[in-house]
Each structure stands twice: as structure tokens, then as C-alpha cells.
Amino acid sequence: MRKKLLDSKIWIIGNKPAPKVISVFLAILFWVTPVYADSSDTIVLIHGFLGWGRSEMFEVKYWGGIGRDYEEILNKAGYETVSVAVGPVSSNWDRAIEAYYQLKGGCVDYGFAHAKKYGHERFGRCYEKPLLPQWGKKNKINIIAHSQGGQTARLLVHLLEFGSDEEKTATGLELAEIFKGNHPWVKSVTTLATPHNGTTLTKGVSIMTLNMAEKIIKGIAGLVNASDTLSAVYDYKLDQWGLKMQTGQTYKSYLSMVKNSPILEASANKDLASWDLSPEGARELNSWVKTSQNVYYFSVSTDSTEKNESSADEYPIITNALILFPSAIWLGIYRNMDPKEGEIKIDDAWAKNDGVVNTVSMKGPEGSKIETYNGKAKKGVWEDMGTWSTWDHMDIIGHTWMWNLLDKRNPKDFYLDHAKFLNALN
């Protein structure tokens, strides 16, 4: 027996849950016969900017939200699924390397050339119990990635298949396996609300969106009645910068240490998410990260704004998450029609957004071949699977808890259906 619950979105005001519209509950009881998947390649979930791992955030799942666990749901349905927990404010390079070692095992090697260039430690955490030690050419993965996770996934595929000439030249015999290339270990990449071409949110806020992380953490703490100490709740995973949280250190103390560290100085700004997520940083990333001819690429877009009748500006709809209202407004009104040298022109096409990312940026990376999915999957092409209108940035990963009242799609069903779809790919 299965119960489906229709509810309004619930988000955070202070430390208490706030209904975004009047809650409506509709229970439909019916008998179903469980359907399990045949053997399949493992699904790997890669979170976005400010994301977290399964044991963090009072065990509120990034993939599912409060009371939901999409990773567990997929596993119970027969689709082997794991999730990585990479640096929430780190660059896509650092995040891709961390994802590799979490899956394959070993001590993180960010690369000799990369570490020297940006001034952080070459080696990071060690993973003695990898998530997928059998991962390889005969045991490929299907990646599903949200937000910045989509950029991270693309870079991971690139390094696996093409390696890094810079690291090969600089490192010699000590070269890490991931930098050697010739590892076609990924079958597909699916990106959800990913800023492939950047987000103009970076024009309104800097890396001090660490403050937003703090608000989210405190909000979730209030929702689950958790401790106020927040000592080991959210891990910024910045060990390479000498910012490892110490035993017994409070979250407040650690956050203060991060905010006052050299990583926020100009010399490091291109090895952080704030650069990669900017339109200019995304353009630089797109200029060298290749689309593999061995991989299926799919993209899903989202939007939660509507155009103002008297202008081309976009404003958040009523079901947009309250915490994302200010950012949705900023994205909807920001323009840069006379860009300085090196900047990207931002016109009306960038106005529609999901509260975090401009919808125009989500279909695929500029410079790659992008097509509308026609029912027949093709490798080496970015296939646009459409836009989920009225869905804000966190809806697609279940943080509105079950349903969107305006179109009544359930993200849980999407993950199950998409897993079945990926399982059928050759």
C-alpha cells in the first residue's frame, strides 16, 4: 500500500517552518505490485553549491529533503545508487577530484600543477572505504547532478577521458590515475538546473554566500529541533586550504575562521565556486572541458518566475521558496548591456530564473551541440529534456516535500522514471 500526500511547499522563516500556501492534503490509497530494476550501472548523485553529505545537516538529505531520501528510494527500487559529498564552495576541479577518490578510493591528489598554481595543499582526505571500488570500463556509472554538480560532472568526465596535459608535464612518474585519461567510465550525465553558462547571482553576491549556508543550517536546525551548537553539522571540506574543522570546535568559530582566511582573497578566487559559477568563469570552463563522444548527456531546466507586464523583468511566483525570493528578484532584473572587456553581456534572455540560476543557462554548455530530446538518445550531444516551469531551484531535489501544486509533478517519480530510462541505455 502506498500513500501519496499532496502538500504545499514549506520553507524557513527564522527557525520555524513557514507554509508558502495553505496546505492541502490529499491521500490516495491503492494497492501496487513493486517493480524492481534489472541489473544496471550505478547511479551517482553529485550535489550543487552549498550542498552536503548524507551524515551532515542533522541527516536531512540533500537528495529528498526533510523526511525524504531519494538515494534510499532508488536503491530499494533496485537501482544501485550512491552520493558523493564534495566541497560545497570549492572549484569544480577540486570537487571533481574529490568525487573521483570518494568513488574509487585513495588519498585525494588535486594535482601538483593545480595546487602550486592556486596555493593550496596538493593532497587531501583519504578514502579507505570507497563507494564504488569496482568502478571502471566494465562497471560504468550514470551521473545525476544538481546545480553546480552538473559542471563538476562534466569536468570529471573530461579528466577521466582526456586527462590533464598540464599535470602530466608537471608531475611525471607520480601522476595520479585520473590525470592519465583513457578512462571511459561514465555512461551518462544528467544535469538538473545546472548553470552551464554561469548564473548572474554571482553579480549580486560574492563567496560570502557562506552567510546563506549559515541561514540554511540554522533553519533546518529549527525544523528538526536540533542542537544549537552546530559543531559537526556542515563540513565545508576545505582541508586543502588549511581549514580543517578541529575536534570540539563550534560551527560559529569555524565559520569565522573560514571568512577570515586567505581563500577569500583575489589570488584564490579562481579556484572557488564563485568564479566557476559566474558567467565569465563558466565561459572559461566551457572553453576547455570537452563533451565526450562516449557519453549520453541530458539536461533538465527549471523556472519559478513570471514576466512583469510592463517590462521584460521577471519576478518570483507565489510558490517560489521564500528564502529564494530576494535572489529570484535580483536575477530577474539584472542586466549588463554594456559589458567591460572580459565580461559577458547580460540581456533580457537571462531574466527568467529559478531563484538561483538563469534558465537560459541550463540547457547545456555554450559551444557544445544542444538538441531537443526526441525520444532517441544519442551520445556526444546535449539533449534538452525540457523545462519544469513553476519549479524553483530546490524543488527538483525534493526540498518542497512531495508536490508542486501548480503542475502536480512529484520529483520522486522523476528519479524513478529517469533511473529506468538510464538503465535502458546501451
Burial of 420 (0-12, 13-18, 19+ CB in 10 A): middle
- Nearest residue to 405 via CA among 64, 68, 22, 30: 22
d(Cα 354, Cα 317) in Å, to the nearest integer? 10
| Active-site residue, from 94, 354, 392, 395 | 354
Three cell numbers at 189? 550525465
399 a catalytic residue? no
C-alpha separations of 293 from 175, 290, 375, 380 in Å: 25, 9, 19, 4
d(Cα 316, Cα 319) in Å, to the nearest integer? 8
Three cell numbers at 70? 531519494
417 a catalytic residue? no
| Active-site residue, from 114, 120, 158, 393 | 393
Q: What is the DSSP secondary structure assignment for residue 116, as one 8-state letter?
A: H
d(Cα 404, Cα 95) in Å, to the nearest integer? 31
Write out the H or E segment, with its range, that includes residue 61.
none
C-alpha separations of 239 from 18, 111, 156, 217, 263 in Å: 36, 15, 20, 20, 12
Write out the H or E segment, with its range, that includes residue 118.
helix 112-118
| Active-site residue, from 90, 147, 188, 361 | 147
393 a catalytic residue? yes
Q: Which residues are catalytic?
A: 147, 354, 393
